[in-house]
């Protein structure tokens, strides 16, 4: 798949104000500062479709983009270490979880994981909630270019070992780097295949 057109539609915190659920939808989420906005920009061939910030927690709304007039890409607020108050963070969590549970045309969620780190409880707990809620999701291991040869395989094996303690099998996963373009073709093909299955 080649993304020829990507345009911003709407930002909000209310699922009722999202675009009509008449197209396949794919959402991206991850811990604050995991590289989500950079990945979205890489996938869409845009430099600033999604806003990039050095400050964790920059994305504070559900952002909808229409891709090739065929499907929606959704940039969700990150979770974790955003420099905001607890009350505000709880509010984010509530509307994001509501969106994930109730958005009827959400075909898949991409959970971004920083490939440089050991399995983090906050990521594992979030994915466990997705599994219990029967939300289809895939993992995208980001920033792979920052690892030495062999480290990526070791870190992914650590994740597999940890997840298989409570999961029957690993969900689909991808490796990505916005520096090298790794993962772009595979992620877009994954989306394309799901779209074709549901025509």
Q: Would you kindly state where each structural domain of the chain is located, as residue ranges?
A: 6-197
Q: How confident is the model at residue 148 (pLDDT cuts 50, 70, 90)?
A: confident
* Alpha carbons 197 and 189: distance in angstroms, whole number: 12
The mean pLDDT of 98-116, rounded to a whole number, is 95
Cβ within 8 Å of residue 179, ≥6 positions away = 145
Q: How confident is the model at residue 4 (pLDDT cuts 50, 70, 90)?
A: very high
* Alpha carbons 23 and 191: distance in angstroms, whole number: 13
Beta strands, E only, the chain: 6-12, 25-30, 62-67, 71-75, 106-114, 137-142, 173-175
The values of phi and psi at residue 136, to 5°, are: -70, 130
SS3 63: strand
Model-wide pTM > 0.75: yes
CATH class of 6-197: alpha beta
* Alpha carbons 104 and 167: distance in angstroms, whole number: 25
The mean pLDDT of 68-97, rounded to a whole number, is 77
């Amino acid at each position: 798949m080649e993304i020829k057109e990507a345009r911003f539609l709407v930002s909000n915190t209310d699922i009722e104000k999202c675009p009509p659920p008449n197209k396949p939808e794919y959402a991206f989420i991850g811990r604050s500062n995991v590289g989500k906005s950079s990945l979205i920009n890489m996938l869409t061939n845009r430099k600033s479709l999604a806003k990039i910030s050095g400050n964790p927690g920059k994305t504070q709304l559900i952002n909808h983009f229409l891709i090739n007039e065929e499907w929606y890409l959704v940039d969700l607020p990150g979770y974790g270490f955003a420099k905001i108050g607890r009350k505000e963070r709880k509010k984010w969590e509530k509307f994001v979880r509501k969106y994930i549970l109730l958005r009827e045309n959400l075909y898949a969620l991409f959970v971004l994981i920083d490939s440089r780190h050991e399995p983090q409880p906050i990521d594992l707990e979030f994915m466990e909630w997705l599994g219990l809620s029967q939300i289809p999701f895939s993992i995208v291991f980001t920033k792979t270019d920052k690892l030495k040869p062999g480290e990526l395989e070791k870190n992914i094996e650590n994740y597999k070992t940890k997840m298989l303690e409570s999961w029957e099998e690993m969900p689909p996963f991808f490796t990505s780097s916005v520096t090298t373009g790794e993962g772009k073709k595979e992620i877009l093909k994954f989306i394309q295949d799901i779209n074709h299955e549901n025509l």
